A and B are shown apart, each in its own frame.
Chain A
């Protein structure tokens, strides 16, 4: 067998159209008919298929034009999506014929996710069935709302308008319940070619367009260049002297000279150039859907997964958000299991923390008190990721508001982010940090200049361990050692912050106010860090939550953890681990920390003599 019904002579853009619906409602037949009626079949193709049918003793069906796999023709069902090209006088189409069998939902999704318009088929004789509803729901979840409903096999019901209007009314109600409005309901017979290419006389009561006329009325989807700029970093290249940040513009536009911020790291820089190979002129602008690369004025650390935006139009950053999801995995989606979330170029472990509503997608029935999602069902749930991710709500910016979930090796679910409320403390603090970073009134002195003068970068050294292990002694010794080496060290004791800056609130051990004390301590540290100091402080090992907050407030400055413990496998990570015995010898312990800071190039040494 050669060509799959393709007409080779296609030029220009193609409208991507998917055909979905319940198994055996006639999708492949409709596609075959469209090809045949528009003269889009390659020479000899029809005869070739007819010949095979004859040899195999089967009646010819238009569906055979599409079902390329031996199994598909033997079983008479489409297993996988295929793509077919055809054209009308108005434009070119690529039709994606998606399987209607429940077992092949993931193939239907694959087809529909890439489409910009959809035809949903319902068999007039059988009426609305399981996949009619499931596919409708999934089109909505995929954001594909340019849909026309085709009521097929009208010949089997003698072209009876009552049958048609009953289906139309029932399915309109269903679509309304999920917030979709069909562009048209078209009664047809794909097998007999009625109302496919043009309107025929069998149903004079129908005044609407034929299928082809309907297709030509669909609008092409346009890349979202009007939305805020979103650029997920795909990779960073250094093939030559240029350091190129590569990726695709998912929304908005970019110009040379734009000041960008990268989320979630909050690093900022200015676009120096937009790079391209084998072009007449080097570009100075880029827009949505373009795969591009640019260089930055400052060499900041950027990696895959960061999302660049303009500083006043940043995406949301959080670990917790609500989603609508469909599940295609063989195993159920459950609590307590870790999945990989892939959102733009970000990839992080995540888990379900709450099942808000699990729905049987074939009936739209809510499965109450069910805390798992079975294959082919949909759900509203809350996800929590291990690291913060940057995103938008799907309704605001679709390309950065959708994700897939991977179970083991396979993509098993897809979803859209519907709502986000900065409900937990961490999200609130993160919002504060972002607000502060945007609006920070900048000094004329760059942090690099301070680092050059001081002989070190700003850093926060946090010494932790159980009480009585000598944290405070080591902290004082380290401050003094660094000071004597002409470094700007400062010991910031929490109690001192409590005595002044936080004197108006209760001590930090009383419930409810601890968060605020920590916040103030963190903000004070931030000021010293901004001034370029090496800030030294101590922490009790059990206060890991508070330490995470301090770390967040100190961003983007490094936090260096020094842990004093005798445990072989301490439950927290640290840059330097000291035994109790080592910590007692303060001079040696301080020396060890000092070497670490030099290795990490936090202490770089003075480049001038005082």
Chain B
């Protein structure tokens, strides 16, 4: 068994625990590589089926190719796709020029909160990883959020021997992170091994530029890269990278503790 099998086995175990323990469960699909790997893992866990609905929070500022890819894959894989949007904030003209953290919180966090409330989800599966940034490094596989959507990172439940927090008070919900223990390279190696169709924005199709992390068009920058396909990305990550994955994500750089502040309020 190699390290990708180890990672896969653990993630499948977590997905199955989530599916068994939460009656009203959804999975967040950002269209990026991590959550697409998550959908793939769900199909592995449930033997070709994805019995969990997928929620996509559409800020309306996403790169258009992402929406196209989303609808195509959803159809091919027979996914139950639910799209959420904070229409009120958009109608009032919310955009990143009003402050990146303000915009992220309104369009992403609030957009998510609204659909969670509408659908009554008590469990939400997300594709975050510990190696992405500092506050995510301190996450649990099963991480509670209170009534106001807030994450109390100072008082998290213990997590040992794969016994997770599956009991919670009414009005609160649990965030579930099945690929928390993967690294960026693991994700790409797995995409390579499993031949998972990934959106081509990650590839340097022209001009020596590619996206390393996907978000909204105005706040996501591309990086210099010659990697044109999955194999070349794996090589690039193995040998030529010392910058961080989210260096192209503008909201992270807004403030010293930007991510901690955003995530404490319910950001993904």
Q: Which residues of A contact B168 (CB under 8 A)?
A: 409
Q: Which residues of A contact B253 (CB under 8 A)?
A: 2
- Chain B 81-99 interface 0/1 with A at a Cβ cutoff of 8 Å (1 = within): 0000000000000000000
Could you say which of A9, A68, A277, A291 contacts B48, with CB atoms under 8 Å apart? A277
Residues facing A in B32-50 (CB within 8 A) are 43-49
Q: Which residues of A contact B228 (CB under 8 A)?
A: none
The complex places the Cα of A590 from the Cα of B221 at a distance, in Å, of 79
Q: State how many angstroms separate the Cβ of B50 from the closest Cβ of chain A.
A: 10
User: Are A406 and B9 in touch, CB under 8 angstroms?
Assistant: no
Say yes or no: is A113 at the interface (Cβ < 8 Å to chain B).
Answer: yes
Number of interface residues of B (CB under 8 A): 69
Could you say which of B45, B131, B133, B241 contacts A291, with CB atoms under 8 Å apart? B45
Q: State how many angstroms separate the Cβ of A407 from the closest Cβ of chain B.
A: 10
User: Are B133 and A406 in touch, CB under 8 angstroms?
Assistant: no
- Chain A 69-100 interface 0/1 with B at a Cβ cutoff of 8 Å (1 = within): 11100000001111111000000001000000
User: Are A69 and B153 in touch, CB under 8 angstroms?
Assistant: yes
- Chain A 1-36 interface 0/1 with B at a Cβ cutoff of 8 Å (1 = within): 111101111111110000000000000000000000
Q: Which residues of B contact A509 (CB under 8 A)?
A: none
Q: State how many angstroms separate the Cβ of A238 from the closest Cβ of chain B.
A: 10
Residues facing B in A287-332 (CB within 8 A) are 287, 289-291, 293, 304, 328
Could you say which of B12, B154, B246 contacts A3, with CB atoms under 8 Å apart? B246
- Chain A 224-241 interface 0/1 with B at a Cβ cutoff of 8 Å (1 = within): 000000000011010110
Q: Which residues of A contact B65 (CB under 8 A)?
A: none
* Residue from B43, B167, B252 having most chain A Cβ neighbours under 10 A: B167
Could you say which of A69, A70, A399 contacts B138, with CB atoms under 8 Å apart? A69
Which of A102-110, A150-158, A348-356, A423-431 lines the interface with chain B?
A102-110
- Chain A 487-500 interface 0/1 with B at a Cβ cutoff of 8 Å (1 = within): 00000000000000
User: Are B160 and A291 in touch, CB under 8 angstroms?
Assistant: no
Residues facing B in A95-135 (CB within 8 A) are 106-107, 109-110, 113-114
Q: Which residues of B contact A408 (CB under 8 A)?
A: 167
Say yes or no: is A248 at the interface (Cβ < 8 Å to chain B).
Answer: yes
User: Are A3 and B153 in touch, CB under 8 angstroms?
Assistant: no
Number of interface residues of A (CB under 8 A): 71
Q: Which residues of A contact B46 (CB under 8 A)?
A: 237, 239
User: Are B160 and A290 in touch, CB under 8 angstroms?
Assistant: no
User: Are A404 and B163 in touch, CB under 8 angstroms?
Assistant: yes
User: Are A10 and B183 in touch, CB under 8 angstroms?
Assistant: yes
User: Are A242 and B163 in touch, CB under 8 angstroms?
Assistant: no
- Please, which residue of chain A has its CB at the minimum distance from the CB of B14? A291
- Please, which residue of chain B has its CB at the minimum distance from the CB of A246? B16
Q: Which residues of B contact A402 (CB under 8 A)?
A: 161
Q: Which residues of A contact B260 (CB under 8 A)?
A: 68-70
Q: Which residues of B contact A106 (CB under 8 A)?
A: 157-158
> Given A2-B244, A4-B133, A80-B153 in contact, is the A291-B9 Cβ separation under 8 Å?
yes
Say yes or no: is B242 at the interface (Cβ < 8 Å to chain A).
Answer: yes
- Please, which residue of chain A has its CB at the minimum distance from the CB of B40? A278
Could you say which of B130, B185, B243 contacts A42, with CB atoms under 8 Å apart? B243
Residues facing B in A389-411 (CB within 8 A) are 399, 402-404, 406, 408-411
* Residue from A8, A142, A235, A328 having most chain B Cβ neighbours under 10 A: A8
Q: State how many angstroms separate the Cβ of B151 from the closest Cβ of chain A.
A: 11
Q: State how many angstroms separate the Cβ of A400 from the closest Cβ of chain B.
A: 11
> Given A277-B48, A328-B158 in contact, is the A1-B252 Cβ separation under 8 Å?
yes
The complex places the Cα of A289 from the Cα of B48 at a distance, in Å, of 21
User: Are B189 and A11 in touch, CB under 8 angstroms?
Assistant: yes
Q: State how many angstroms separate the Cβ of A79 from the closest Cβ of chain B.
A: 6
Q: Which residues of A contact B5 (CB under 8 A)?
A: 290
Say yes or no: is B232 at the interface (Cβ < 8 Å to chain A).
Answer: no
Say yes or no: is A414 at the interface (Cβ < 8 Å to chain B).
Answer: yes
Q: Which residues of B contact A45 (CB under 8 A)?
A: 244
- Please, which residue of chain B has its CB at the minimum distance from the CB of A287? B1
> Given A10-B183, A70-B260, A409-B167 in contact, is the A277-B47 Cβ separation under 8 Å?
yes
> Given A9-B239, A275-B47, A276-B47 in contact, is the A68-B134 Cβ separation under 8 Å?
yes
> Given A3-B246, A80-B138, A289-B1 in contact, is the A277-B161 Cβ separation under 8 Å?
no
- Please, which residue of chain B has its CB at the minimum distance from the CB of A236? B20
Say yes or no: is A342 at the interface (Cβ < 8 Å to chain B).
Answer: yes
The complex places the Cα of A163 from the Cα of B2 at a distance, in Å, of 44
Q: State how many angstroms separate the Cβ of B108 from the closest Cβ of chain A.
A: 18
- Please, which residue of chain A has its CB at the minimum distance from the CB of B240? A9
- Please, which residue of chain A has its CB at the minimum distance from the CB of B168? A409
Q: Which residues of B contact A575 (CB under 8 A)?
A: none
> Given A1-B256, A68-B138, A71-B154 in contact, is the A409-B169 Cβ separation under 8 Å?
yes
Q: Which residues of B contact A7 (CB under 8 A)?
A: 242
The complex places the Cα of A106 from the Cα of B154 at a distance, in Å, of 11
Say yes or no: is B69 at the interface (Cβ < 8 Å to chain A).
Answer: no
> Given A80-B138, A240-B49 in contact, is the A113-B161 Cβ separation under 8 Å?
yes
The complex places the Cα of A9 from the Cα of B245 at a distance, in Å, of 11
Say yes or no: is B194 at the interface (Cβ < 8 Å to chain A).
Answer: yes
Say yes or no: is B75 at the interface (Cβ < 8 Å to chain A).
Answer: no
User: Are B6 and A13 in touch, CB under 8 angstroms?
Assistant: yes
Q: Which residues of A contact B60 (CB under 8 A)?
A: none
Say yes or no: is B259 at the interface (Cβ < 8 Å to chain A).
Answer: yes
> Given A8-B245, A235-B20 in contact, is the A342-B158 Cβ separation under 8 Å?
no
Q: State how many angstroms separate the Cβ of A482 from the closest Cβ of chain B.
A: 41
Say yes or no: is A548 at the interface (Cβ < 8 Å to chain B).
Answer: no
User: Are B44 and A278 in touch, CB under 8 angstroms?
Assistant: yes
- Please, which residue of chain B has its CB at the minimum distance from the CB of A51? B256
User: Are B9 and A290 in touch, CB under 8 angstroms?
Assistant: yes
The complex places the Cα of A406 from the Cα of B142 at a distance, in Å, of 15
Say yes or no: is B51 at the interface (Cβ < 8 Å to chain A).
Answer: yes
User: Are A8 and B44 in touch, CB under 8 angstroms?
Assistant: no
User: Are B183 and A293 in touch, CB under 8 angstroms?
Assistant: no
| CB-defined A-B contacts under 8 Å, sample of 18 | A2-B252, A3-B131, A3-B245, A4-B131, A9-B239, A68-B135, A68-B138, A69-B135, A69-B257, A82-B130, A83-B137, A83-B181, A106-B157, A110-B159, A223-B1, A248-B9, A290-B9, A410-B165
Q: Which residues of B come within 8 Å of A, CB atoms?
A: 1-3, 5-6, 8-10, 12-13, 16-17, 19-20, 43-49, 51, 130-138, 140, 153-154, 156-161, 163, 165, 167-169, 181, 183-186, 189, 194, 237-239, 241-247, 252-253, 256-260
**Lowest 10 CB-CB distances: which A-B pairs, in order?**
A68-B134, A113-B160, A3-B244, A106-B158, A291-B12, A13-B3, A4-B134, A6-B131, A43-B242, A277-B48
Given contacts A110-B140, A234-B16, 17 further A-B contacts (CB under 8 A): A1-B257, A2-B133, A3-B134, A10-B183, A52-B256, A70-B256, A109-B158, A110-B160, A113-B160, A240-B47, A247-B16, A289-B9, A342-B163, A402-B161, A409-B167, A409-B169, A414-B160
